[in-house]
Amino acid sequence: MMGAYFSEDRKRRYLLWRDLRGDGPVMSIGMINPSNADEEKNDRTITRIINFAERENCSKVYVWNLCSAITPYVKELKNVIDPVGVDNDAYISAALISSQVHVVAWGPVKKLPLVLHNRRFDVLKLANQINVNFQCWDVAKDG
């Protein structure tokens, strides 16, 4: 099963999920911003995430983002009014609560517009409030 939650105008994607072939845990992966994948089609990033989660024998993967505004280019987030979106944290929380494996993959902070440099700390605080610990297999030079 494939699915996604969007804003009414479909300019924001809050959460995307894919049921997988494995019988293991449910994984959540946090990225920076959604691109073109939706409830019916994958983009290149989502295909890579699915392949990764299947290698880990996961039964499902949730993909959430620091920002809900849909754009294939991180730099465009600086031109979006409220790139995070008022509902985004609720969807992030739901994904984290529904998962057993939690991965962050948002890369170096320097690629984010300056106004979003601290957004990761908001999400880390949110995760801490619901007792979720993230896994990360590599750390960017700027944290």
Distance CA 3, CA 75 (A): 27
Residue 138's pLDDT band, with cuts at 50, 70 and 90, is low
Q: What is the mean pLDDT of residues 39-48?
A: 96
Q: Characterize the bridge pairing of strands 2-6 and 26-31.
A: unpaired
- pLDDT category at 77 given cuts 50, 70, 90 is very high
Residue 21: predicted pLDDT: 87
pTM for the full predicted model: 0.93
Residue 141, pLDDT > 70, answer: no
User: Cα separation of 143 and 43, whole Å?
Assistant: 27
Question: For residue 125, what are the contacts with CB-CB under 8 A and spacing of at least 6?
Answer: none
| pLDDT of 23 strictly over 70 | yes
